[in-house]
Chains A and B, each alone.
Chain A
Amino acid sequence: MINTLFTIQPFTLAFVIGTYLAALWLYRRTKLNLLHPVFTSILVVIGVLLLLNVEYAAFEQGSFLIDFMLGPSVVALGFGLYEQVHLIRKNLLSILTAISIGSIVGIVSVVFIARWMGADETVVASLEPKSVTTPIAIGISARFGGLPPLTAVIVVVTGVFGAVVGPFVMDKTGITSKIARGLAMGSSSHGAGTARAIEMGAVQGAISGLSIGLMGVATAIMVPLLRLIIK
């Protein structure tokens, strides 16, 4: 009975969107990174489903339309890239170089550390795209045998972590250029990092937003390439 209710799309859509709006409101009120709306929404939805004994398959069916929007949201990022592209004309070569190498550093380091600590290949495949914005990361993870739910959570945690430690790490390593700081925030911590970069300044924020898309493309290309090399 309760499972049937959650397979009805308008019901589950209203439930998830309502939860998300409440989580967003809470996040804006408290401004606590820990209360990132993605975390709180996921936790509340899981809590309700467990409490009411709803099967995941029923929820999956009912929430299909929201899940479906992941693809179009990646396509829409192309517009953001276009809006900010004038910023990089002067620094095109350095930005493309930094993002390409950063993408390789991110994939190789996470794969080696995770393997060294005994993680299996499913976990490793879920970790590979961790520095990329969630909808792109989910696509890469699913393609190469990862667990998309794990990837989604890792990516958000990574973003929040990078946003918190970013300014400290860059001060310690002497990264002072505005463009470099924005690029480093966006490429390592995507959306959450960009929110932090916007607080640093307009240039940092815009460059960070742009690097989300660039890092997504670079990583989508690098993951399959590196998979051929580091087996």
Chain B
Amino acid sequence: MYGIFIIFLFYAIGILISKLFGEIIPGSVIGMVLLFVALLSGVVKADKVKPVAGFITRHMALFFVPVGVGLMVTTHYFKGATLAIITASAISTILVMISVGLIQQFMEKKND
């Protein structure tokens, strides 16, 4: 129960901070960063959060099924752009992969 409490508490704090700053960054992301900091500093005990956090992240895929089902009422908004969506996503994914990989590798070698 402690784990559930902690996750909802940090989610709530994240949403609050997000709302204070015009909701530029999702409250959940702020909650995630705060939970990370709280665990690092020892304010929250990691072994007490582990069972709940582990369970939730393992089955995360289930949580976005309802959103995806929304496709059945939204396809007409983007039907004409299908080719653009696929092309842009594919090229951009490869560019991210190459840039991240090469930068990391380059900076690693410089360190040695």
A and B from one assembly?
Answer: yes
Which of A's residues lie within 8 Å of B, judged by CB? 16-17, 19-20, 24, 37-38, 41-42, 45-46, 49-50, 56, 59-60, 63-64, 66-67, 69-83, 85, 91, 93-95, 97-99, 101-103, 105-106, 109-110, 113-114, 117-120, 122-123, 126-127, 130-131, 133-136, 138-140, 143, 147-150, 152-154, 156-158, 161-162, 165-166, 169-170, 173, 175-177, 179-181, 183-185, 187-189, 191, 211, 213, 216-217, 220-221, 224
Which of A77, A97, A217 lies in contact with B107, CB distance below 8 A?
A97
Classify the interface of chain B: helix, strand, loop or mixed.
helix
Interface centre among A77, A130, A156, A181, by most B CB within 10 Å? A77
Binary interface profile of B, 77-102, with partner A (CB < 8 Å = 1, else 0)?
11011011111111111111111111
Task: For B20, list chain A residues within 8 Å (CB).
Answer: none
How far is it, in angstroms, between the C-alpha of A127 and the C-alpha of B91 when the chains are bound? 12
How far, in angstroms, from A117 to B83 measured CA to CA in the complex?
A: 8
A188, B88: Cα distance in complex, Å: 13
8 Å CB contact of B101 from A50, A91, A170: A170
B45 to chain A, nearest CB (A): 11
Q: Tell me whether chain A's interface is mostly helix, strand or loop, or mixed.
A: helix
13 A-B pairs whose Cβ atoms sit less than 8 Å apart in the complex? A37-B61, A41-B68, A72-B11, A75-B28, A77-B32, A78-B36, A102-B96, A123-B81, A131-B92, A136-B28, A157-B89, A185-B97, A187-B97
Are A78 and B35 interface neighbours, CB within 8 A?
Answer: yes
| A-B contact sample (20 more), CB < 8 A, given A109-B91, A114-B85, A143-B23 | A49-B72, A66-B65, A70-B28, A71-B28, A74-B29, A94-B111, A110-B92, A113-B84, A114-B81, A123-B84, A140-B26, A149-B67, A150-B71, A150-B77, A175-B101, A177-B108, A185-B97, A188-B96, A191-B60, A220-B29
Contacts of A127 in B (CB 8 A): 85, 88-89
Q: Of B52, B80, B95, which is within 8 A of A76 by CB? A: B52
User: Known contacts A63-B66, A152-B64, A170-B97: does B24 contact A139 (CB below 8 Å)?
Assistant: no
Q: Contact partner of B104 among A76, A94, A105, CB < 8 A?
A: A94
B interface residue numbers (CB < 8 A to A): 7-8, 10-11, 14-15, 23-29, 31-36, 39-40, 46, 49-50, 52-54, 56-57, 60-74, 77-78, 80-81, 83-105, 107-109, 111
